[in-house]
Structure 1
Amino acid sequence: MADTAIEGDTPKKAKPGWGEVFRSLRNRKSGFMVLFGFASGLPFALFLGTLYAWLTEAEVDLETMGVFSLIGLAYAFQFIWSPLIDKVNLGPFRRFGKRKQWIVPAQILLGAILVTMSVLEPKTQLGWFSLLAGIGALASATQDIAINAWRIDVADEEATLDILSTIYQMGYRLASLVGGALGLIIAARIGWPETYMIMGAILLVIGFFGTFAPDSGSDSAATIGASEDELAELYAPGEVHPEARRRALWQVLLLWGWALTILGIFMVRALGGFVPMLPLVPLGDSYVFNPNWFLGMFPLGEEGRPDPTEFTAKMGPLIILATIVLPAIIAAGLAKVKRDGRNVIAEREAGEIAPMPGALDHLYRALVVPLVEFVGRLGWSLILILSLVLTYRICDAIWGTFAYPFYLGELEYTNDEVAFASKFFGVGAIIAGLAFGGYLLTVIGRMATLTIGALLAALTNLLYADMARGGAAMQAASDAIGFSALISFMAPFGSDALPRLTFTIMWENLAIGIAGAAYVAWLSSIVSKKYAAVQYALLSSLTLLIGTLGRGALGEMIEDKGYYYVFILTTLIGFIAVVLCLAEWWRERRYGQKSGVVTPDHHEGAGS
């Protein structure tokens, strides 16, 4: 890439541009990436979107429907079980490969769940319906972890990581259109059961074809999981002493165990189960601390069920602290111990130290080693990277919740107008933005595209600020280039104000597409292939969680100040991301190889 080249002799590369894009698209890996991207986006649209339309039509009350929002937690906290995807084999599915042994069963399970849901009646069989939806969300989030790791594993010089990341998002966005707007149209004509049966059949077909997807070199059965040689590496000279590893492992296990306990208790209470809410509970002749007490920090619903949004907003930071921040600090300590040569296995001790029990070694490799590798490779640069992860997509993540209230309430557009502008025209604009982003990645490089995407995404907030003030500038620009006449022809049902809404959404979604293509490619490039599932899941989950955590504050600001000032604020936040992109760009240029950032000619890390 133009911004990541390294010194020395390099093989002659094909001329960048659309030619490189089309060459990548001819690769069979790209074809399967489209299928996997579609399979990743379809369940998300069906479980967290159109399902509510079906439940509403079935006259399921809003309080009960609130339970279904729990399934969104599976996507937000997917990193908690991501170590399983890196280190656990699934018996007979192992022959499919390290990643496909998770992808294919998840797709088949999701297809079977959707088909089964199609034969149930939501109102009278709500228990089974909600159980299947919850299992489906877990399977979908698991599939996402494995697909992201597969993309990083199989990237090569022809099917580059940048292009595969772009294609993945195209498939994902297409699935959101099929499972969302198109699903509503199909259901209006043939019914919801038939619609979900069709969607389930599609996933079953993708699961079948997924068995033929290519494997990466690391996917052979011989290298899946933690082999004896890999465990033996922990006891080689220069590795951290087992006693220090054991202490670090138990600290991490306690932190993750607490997080899992909190999530488990929350799920039980949200589904109507009872768990005492006292800070201390009796145990024999004494009292012990009850971690469930923290759940009393936020209000419960009418039926005593905690609210998922409140839970994520209040407990989310603590869970992030327990599962990411504190383990990262522990990992940094181990990396420093190893780097300084203190408390490590000496040459004379090799082969004589009693190993930890096998289960502890496996847990250490699954939970701690990926963090030690990540922190040790990036060092203090990790602070810059995490800052960029937390700010780059924050505006999109937060704004999504308030988009429809803004369109329908503040601007007073109709449902049909919003569906046309945001779903049909908007999704097309995102796909066009992704395509152009993929082109830019091949021509100017990953970091240049990432920076341009951040700048464009920030500036599009000013377009919405104009809409909040009446949209005069947007209307004038739309009229000047003939866009208004085009929209009036395409959507004769719309009002005179529809063109400026569509015009605004078009530019925003083009920017989102460009930024999304660069962001996923960059995020994929900074993780190690060896620990791709864990490291990518951790970073991508932070992106999801930060949006949830910021919605409460943004909602209050909308109430107090109005939408116009909110869009000015999100523009300023977007500019912070631009500055961080420039800093990361400079860091990669100066320290890229040292920090393990991958270039086209340096393949020790995640991809091309």
Structure 2
Amino acid sequence: MTDAPPRIDVPAGAQRTRTLSAITLLGFGSGLPVALSFSTLEAWCAVSGLSLKTIGAIKLVALAYVFKFLWAPLIDRFSLPVLGRRRGWMLWTQLGIVVALVLIAGLSPQTSLPAIAVLAVVLATLSATQDIAVDAYRADQLLPQDRGLGAALGVGGYRIAMVVSGGFALILAGSYGFRFAYLAMAAFMAIGIVGTLIAPERRVAEESAHSLVKAYVEPLREFLARTKALHWLALILVYKLGNAFALSLSSTFLLRGAGYALSDVGWVNKVFGLAATVVGAFAGGLLLERWSLRRALWIFGVLQGLGALGFFAIALGWQGYPALVTAVAAENFTSGLGTGAFVALLMALCDKRFSATQYALFSALDSAARIFVGPLAGWVAADYGWVVYFAVSLACAVPGLLLLLALGGQFARFDVKSSTT
């Protein structure tokens, strides 16, 4: 290990404010590169006249986000020069992202597609690595009573950045070209860099072993040795399953099943839905400051399970613009509530010696559930119709609630007064 991060002597209240502010900016920095290596790059390739097969192949660069757990132990095992254990990784990956965006801006898909593809892979890998470091920082630095609010602020910053890099970037590209858009997004990465520079980093427990093999094995061994470890893994897998199922084909349902206009779905389901998700995450974060984690997971789990009732009602025949707004608001607001509590749970489950590795494993498990629910959702909708589809989504919320019941007293370790978290 290199030297410990420099000590930042600030009052507790000021440090809390700086930490939460930094987490918001870091959430923005994490969300910004995602669309630039995925949907925005897809749009650039589409307007450049590339074939559908080529555009589809380029989407494979997003696999870096799925397999980031493979190199997460390196973030736990090694510290990079400057700024310490977590912030060093954040800073260097952010600078690398800026360089990758500038290099992509200097190319064209029509004349330099192989180079852009390689840079897109580099961009996605750097972005996924930044996510590992940011997630580990949150897990290490947030006190138990701040996890809900910290999760909400991080999610809010992330979602806003997705709008900037996925929507505003296309507006810029339409007026000034994609090269200008990518250069502008590189400048926006300064927001994440500022978050890294202002972030306090308290000294936390570090793994003392120097074995790289142990850095891979020990985080998993430590977690599996816990009481009801498999129950925790199952909870991570299914807690947001009903929500993921309902949202998987929500746009398709509103367009094909309910017959809403494309513009209505775009504004309400995407723009208004995003705002509802952010508001829900913030509301959940504030409630988590007053509630126990278990209580929040229970209440938000029930609410996010019932969030699809609006879509279910539309499938049964409820029509009109108010129906669309109500259904989208209910589903996305309750999704935000559940997301805030769920992220707080993932942070609480991390051993601070291995937080980068364990958080990456947990988030990969959650991502896998969302990926594999897509084909199942399509099959149910195609063969049984939209009414059954949303009935199944409501039923998918039950396993998570049953696991919360089975885990029971295991949540005592996440008490604010507990010294283990």
Using structure 2 for the length normalisation, give the TM-score: 0.91
User: What does residue 218 of structure 2 align with?
Assistant: 369
Aligned-pair CA distance for 1:506:
0.9
The match for 2:88 among 101, 104, 108 is 101
Whether the 8 Å CA contact 1:82–1:145 is kept in 2: the answer is: yes
Residues 231-261 of structure 1, C-alpha deviations (whole Å, 9 max, x = no match)? 4xxxxxxxxxxxxxxxxxxxxxxxxxxxxxx
Aligned to 2:410: 588
Tell me what 2:336 maps to: 513
Residues 204-283 of structure 1 mapped to structure 2, 5 A cutoff: 204-207=190-193, 210-218=196-204, 230-231=208-209
Residue 80 of structure 1: how far off its partner (Å): 1.1
Matched, 1:38 2:28: yes
Q: Could you report, residue by residue, the CA deviation over 1:326-352 in whole angstroms, capped at 9, with x for unpaired residues?
A: xxxxxxxxxxxxxxxxxxxxxxxxxxx
Question: 1:161 touches 1:521 (CA, 8 Å); kept in 2?
Answer: yes
For 1:61, the equivalent position in structure 2 comes to 51
AA matched with 1:45: A
The counterpart of 1:567, out of the listed 378, 387, 390, is: 390
1:160-199 equivalent positions in 2, closer than 5 A:
160-199=146-185
Distance 2:194 2:303 in 1: 40
Q: Residues of 2 paired with 1:142 and 1:54: CA distance?
A: 25
Q: 1:71·1:133 contact (CA, 8 Å) conserved in 2? A: yes
Q: Check 1:26–1:154 CA distance in 2 against 1; reply closer, same or farther (3 A cut).
A: closer
Structure 2 partner of 1:554: 377
**Taking structure 1 as reference, are residues 432 and 25 closer, same or farther at Cα in structure 2, changes over 3 Å only?**
farther
In structure 2, C-alpha distance between the alignment counterparts of 1:26 and 1:539, rounded to whole Å: 26
Determine whether 1:145 maps to 2:132: yes
Deviation at 1:182, TM superposition (A): 2.8
- What is the identity, as a one-letter code, of the residue corresponding to 1:556? W
- Structure ID, larger Rg: 1
Identify which range, 508-517 or 364-373, moves more after superposition.
364-373
- The match for 1:428 is 275
Q: What is residue 308 of structure 1 aligned with on the other side?
A: none
In 2, Cα distance between equivalents of 1:452 and 1:205: 34
Q: CA deviation at 1:398?
A: 4.2
Is the counterpart of residue 129 in structure 1 residue 119 in structure 2? Answer: no
Count of residues in Structure 1 that have an aligned counterpart in Structure 2: 409
Alignment of 1:333-352 (within 5 A): none
Q: Residue 205 and residue 27 in structure 1: after superposition, are their counterparts in 2 closer, same or farther (change >3 A)?
A: closer
Equivalences for residues 382-397 of structure 1 within 5 A: 382-397=229-244
The residue that corresponds to 2:7 in the other structure is: none
- 1:412/1:116 Cα in 2 relative to 1: closer, same or farther (>3 Å)? farther
Which residue identity lines up with residue 37 of structure 1 in the other structure?
G
Change (3 A) 1:38 1:559: same
Over 6 Å off, 4+ runs: 23-26
- How big is the shift at 1:400? 4.3
Distance in structure 2 (CA, Å) of the matches to 1:444 and 1:26: 19
Which runs of structure 2 are paired with 1:310-325 in the superposition (5 Å)?
none
Are the structure 2 counterparts of residues 209 and 430 from structure 1 closer, same or farther at C-alpha, using a change threshold of 3 Å?
closer
Q: Note the alpha carbon deviations across 1:200-231, whole angstroms, 9 max, x for none.
A: 11114532552332112139xxx6xx6xxx34
Deviation at 1:386, TM superposition (A): 1.3
Q: 1:471 to 1:196 in 2, by over 3 A?
A: farther
Q: Which residue is 1:283 aligned to?
A: none
Shift of 1:53: 1.9
Structure 1 unaligned residues grouped into runs of 5+:
1-22, 232-360, 473-496
2:3 counterpart residue number: none
Q: Distance in 2 between matches of 1:199 and 1:25?
A: 29
Q: Provide TM-score, normalisation by structure 1.
A: 0.64
- Separation of aligned partners in 1, 2:283 and 2:195: 29
* AA aligned opposite 1:550: V
2:173·2:181 contact (CA, 8 Å) conserved in 1? yes
**Offset at residue 140 of structure 1 (A):** 0.8
CA distance in 1, matches of 2:399, 2:138: 29
CA RMSD of aligned residues (A): 2.1
Distance 1:571 1:519 in 2: 18
Shift of 1:600: 1.6
Deviation sequence 1:585-607 (CA, Å, 0-9, x none) = x2335xx3xxxx332222333xx
